[in-house]
Structure 1
Amino acid sequence: MSDTDAITIMKQEVGRAAAQRVQSNTIVGLGTGSTTAYAIQFIGARLKSGELQNIKGIPTSFQARVLAKKYGIPLTTLDEVDHIDIAIDGADEVDPQKNLIKGGGAAHTQEKIVDSLAAQFIVVVDSGKLVDSLGSTFLLPVEVLPMAVTPVMKAIEALGGKPELRMGVKKAGPVVTDQGNLVVDVKFDRIENPGELEKTLNNLPGVLENGLFVNVADVILVGEVIEGQPTVREL
């Protein structure tokens, strides 16, 4: 088995492990990203086989919505439900306290709404996403209203961050979120107090939401490739 095949299978197994935790008659938050996509696929397969019944999903992005429709998961909205039983989503970084940085897919605002409302939030990652301190390997995404990008970037610099407007790939110009806003990626030398920084950034006029998820995650499922074999463990 090649390294590439092992990594793909590992992501599938993490997604499968998360999907197995979904029970019938529940509302499920459907996250965004490559590993979560496998979870959505396996939830759909369990529905199709009859192993699961009466599931409704709440997508966190256009990508999640498309995948849910593809795999036959009925969708609902926050206007139509009074709770979310479980949410499954990925992360770009996970620290030892289960705090996260998310937003590599520019969907962190909707993800934070859904993931925070869930009675149980399961994070699916590979071991490369585990860090001792948030911000050590991944820039912190901040979603900003277009008219406020310049003043917000100046305010972030005053906080000690190094902001950069995220530009599109195979697209001229910046990345635009599902809400029609822009994303500023910020490098902080150290994020010593994620909870305080989360609040401080969100209090900047023009900021909609940032990618720090503090005290939100309940379970972390970690995929690894050990001696060529994919494995999944829980933090």
Structure 2
Amino acid sequence: MTTLRVSGTESLDDLKQAAARAAVQKVQSGMVVGLGTGSTAAFAVSALAERMQTEGLQIIGVPTSERTAEQARSLGIPLATLEEQPRLDLAIDGADEIEVGSLNLIKGAGGALLREKLVEASAAELIIIADASKKVAQLGIRFPVPVEVVRFGWKTTLARVEALGCTATLRRNANGDPYLTDEQHYILDCQFGPMADPAKIADQLKGTVGVVEHGLFIGMAKEAIIALPTGIETLQPS
């Protein structure tokens, strides 16, 4: 673990931005970079655009959501699809929970878990940026596991998922309509509680009929840059 001190007077957004800037410093010209989704990842996209403007950094971005693609295009970042760039040098993204030690993750509160996993599984390195509240001793302490499911027969899929030992709720928009992902799927938010063996649960979810993908990212993160009130903490899996 390494720690970079900052002044200690920053707001949470300032610290998230500092974490994003630290991650973006690892990007070099010529790289293909996975662009994450969420409030912290958005700072990284902005920081990449700033480096392009001030330093002449040249990259190609592969976005993990339509929302991120729109932001990147507005900032002048050249984009490609995963089909066009199937091998990425680096991906930078946020997380909902980060298990200290393993760096296993829960992701998907922003609804982009499927594209995030597709893009980040294709990256040589995944760097996670987050605020200190996302560090946990065990996954499932604070956040449910998002599970993306096909819309057809979703209630039967929910029953299969709950049989694995969780309470599942269909994610809805503020108006009460079911939330739709970029791929037009539903999301079940699954409360497993603290997970002693998240890899086993990940395998069980993946093998469940009707499940497209889940928000457990096991063994994928190579580094986590965490925004703390006292500075920026860098973690590697142990």
What TM-score, normalized to structure 1? 0.93
Alignment-derived partner of residue 195 in structure 2: 191
The one-letter code sitting in structure 2 at the alignment partner of 1:225 is P
In the alignment, is residue 69 of structure 1 matched against residue 79 of structure 2? no
2:49 to 44, 50, 54: 44
Unaligned runs of 5+ in 2: 1-7
1:50, distance to aligned residue in structure 2 (A): 3.2
Bigger CA drift: 99-108 or 70-79? 70-79
Alignment-derived partner of residue 90 in structure 1: 94
2:127 to 122, 126, 139: 122
SS at match of 2:152: helix
CA distance in 1, matches of 2:162, 2:214: 15
Alignment-derived partner of residue 208 in structure 1: 212
1:149 to 149, 154, 157: 154
SS at match of 2:61: strand
For residues 125-167 of structure 1, give each alpha carbon's deviation from its aligned partner in whole angstroms, at most 9, with x where no partner exists: 1110000010010011000101131111111221111001111
SS at match of 2:136: coil
Bigger CA drift: 157-166 or 190-199? 190-199
Q: State the 4+ residue runs in structure 1 displaced beyond 4 angstroms.
A: none
The one-letter code sitting in structure 2 at the alignment partner of 1:65 is A
For residues 157-188 of structure 1, give each alpha carbon's deviation from its aligned partner in whole angstroms, at most 9, with x where no partner exists: 2111100111112x341111000010000111
Alignment-derived partner of residue 15 in structure 1: 20
Quote the sequence identity (%): 39
Bigger CA drift: 5-14 or 125-134? 5-14
Q: How do residues 97-176 of structure 1 correspond to structure 2 at under 5 angstroms? A: 97-169=102-174, 171-176=175-180
1:82, distance to aligned residue in structure 2 (A): 4.0
2:224 to 201, 220, 225: 220
The one-letter code sitting in structure 2 at the alignment partner of 1:222 is I
SS at match of 2:34: strand
The one-letter code sitting in structure 2 at the alignment partner of 1:132 is A
CA distance in 2, matches of 1:135, 1:82: 31
Q: CA RMSD in A?
A: 1.5
1:189, distance to aligned residue in structure 2 (A): 2.8
Unaligned runs of 5+ in 1: none
Q: Structure with the greater relative contact order (CA < 8 A, sep ≥ 6): 1 or 2? A: 2
1:4, distance to aligned residue in structure 2 (A): 10
SS at match of 2:68: helix
